[in-house]
Structure 1
Amino acid sequence: MTADLTALDLEEAGAVLAAESARFASFGWMRGTSGNLSVVLTRDPLRLAVTASGHDKGELTPADVVLVDGNGAAVHEGKPSAEAELHARVAELTGAGAVVHVHTVASVALGHRHPGGIVFKDIEMLKGVGQPAHDVEVTLPVIANSQDMKVLGDRLEAAREPRMPAVVVAGHGLYVWGDTPRQARHHTEVVEWLLELELTRR
């Protein structure tokens, strides 16, 4: 643990992430051990609590998180998600306080169909991500997948749409962020609703 963080801080963050994971798993968005969540604990230096690798996301306990640095590397002990580096990159790039990564059918299907991005317009639910419901087009970026988190982070940075707190990774899933775990959850549910609507339209 670092001087500014205690085991209790990490346990409290773990309790929040365990609850959020159970919610997403109940929707079928984090099947098996897929998906991962994080919450920022400090900014300077950047430290995040990230869900541990290889755990059933519907059965996490407050202990199933790992403290990582701004490069996604474990600070103390434990094995974080392989995508912890991307969580840290998103937090640094966007100023987000929490990041959600889920594997939903709609995000994977539409990522294949719309490699240039998924456009939404005149949908009331856009208010859920802070956008007007009418007369504004908002694009959810889609980026090609990579097992190299540096490459994936560069693609996310290049494609990011500041009005949309999310990006689809083609063939993989959805990354969403917010100021807090609760806001990140709300954004995730709204963006997934938009994706499901688009999927049914086609």
Structure 2
Amino acid sequence: MTADLTALDLEEAGAVLAAESARFASFGWMRGTSGNLSVVLTRDPLRLAVTASGHDKGELTPADVVLVDGNGAAVHEGKPSAEAELHARVAALTGAGAVVHVHTVASVALGHRHPGGIVFKDIEMLKGVGQPAHDVEVTLPVIANSQDMKILGDRLEAAREPRMPAVVVAGHGLYVWGDTPRQARHHTEVVEWLLELELTRR
């Protein structure tokens, strides 16, 4: 641990992430060991608790998290998700307090169909991401996938739409964020609902 963080802080964060992971896994959005979640513990320096790599997200315990720094590298011990670096980049870029990454069918399918972004308009559920329900078009960005988190982070930063707290990674899944784990969860559920609606329309 660092001077500002204790094992109890990490365990408490782990309990929150385990509960959120179980919820998303129950929806089929984190099948097998796919997907990952994080929560910011400190801002200066940036430290996040990130779900550990290779664990079934429906069976996480409070111990199944790793403390990482602003580059996504483990601070103490454990193996964080391979995408921890991108979680840290999103937290630094957006000021988010929590980041969700899920692998949903709708996000992957629509990412292929709309490489330039997915446009939503005149849908009441847009209020769930803080946007007017009518007379405003909001684009959910879509970026090309990469196994290099620096490249992926650069693409996310270039494509980010400040009015939409999410981005689709084509062929991969959905990244969503919020001020807190609860808000990140709500944003994830709303964005996924919008994606599922768009998928049924086609």
The interval holding the TM-score normalised by the smaller chain is over 0.9
Q: Distance in 1 between matches of 2:46 and 2:11?
A: 18
Secondary structure of the residue aligned to 2:63 is coil
Q: Distance in 2 between matches of 1:13 and 1:32?
A: 22
Give structure 2 stretches of 5+ with no counterpart: none
Secondary structure of the residue aligned to 1:34 is coil
Secondary structure of the residue aligned to 2:49 is strand
Q: Write the deviation string for residues 84-114 of structure 1: whole angstroms up to 9, x where unpaired.
A: 0000000000000000000000000000000
Q: Distance in 1 between matches of 2:120 and 2:175?
A: 17
Q: Distance in 2 between matches of 1:50 and 1:72?
A: 9
Q: Distance in 1 between matches of 2:160 and 2:3?
A: 34
- Following superposition, the deviation at residue 63 of structure 1 comes to 0.0
- Following superposition, the deviation at residue 193 of structure 1 comes to 0.0
The within-5 A match list for 1:51-62 is 51-62=51-62
Give structure 1 stretches of 5+ with no counterpart: none
Q: Write the deviation string for residues 98-131 of structure 1: whole angstroms up to 9, x where unpaired.
A: 0000000000000000000000000000000000
- Following superposition, the deviation at residue 23 of structure 1 comes to 0.0
Q: Write the deviation string for residues 11-38 of structure 1: whole angstroms up to 9, x where unpaired.
A: 0000000000000000000000000000
Give 4+ residue runs of structure 1 displaced > 3 Å after superposition: none
- Following superposition, the deviation at residue 160 of structure 1 comes to 0.1
Count of residue pairs the alignment pairs up: 202
- Following superposition, the deviation at residue 54 of structure 1 comes to 0.1
Q: Write the deviation string for residues 106-159 of structure 1: whole angstroms up to 9, x where unpaired.
A: 000000000000000000000000000000000000000000000000000000
- Following superposition, the deviation at residue 201 of structure 1 comes to 0.1
Q: CA RMSD in A?
A: 0.1
TM-score (norm 1): 1.00
Q: Distance in 2 between matches of 1:74 and 1:121?
A: 41
Q: Distance in 2 between matches of 1:32 and 1:3?
A: 35
Secondary structure of the residue aligned to 1:50 is strand
1:191 is matched with which residue? Answer: 191
2:105 is matched with which residue? Answer: 105
1:79 is matched with which residue? Answer: 79
TM-score (norm 2): 1.00
1:29 is matched with which residue? Answer: 29
Secondary structure of the residue aligned to 1:86 is helix
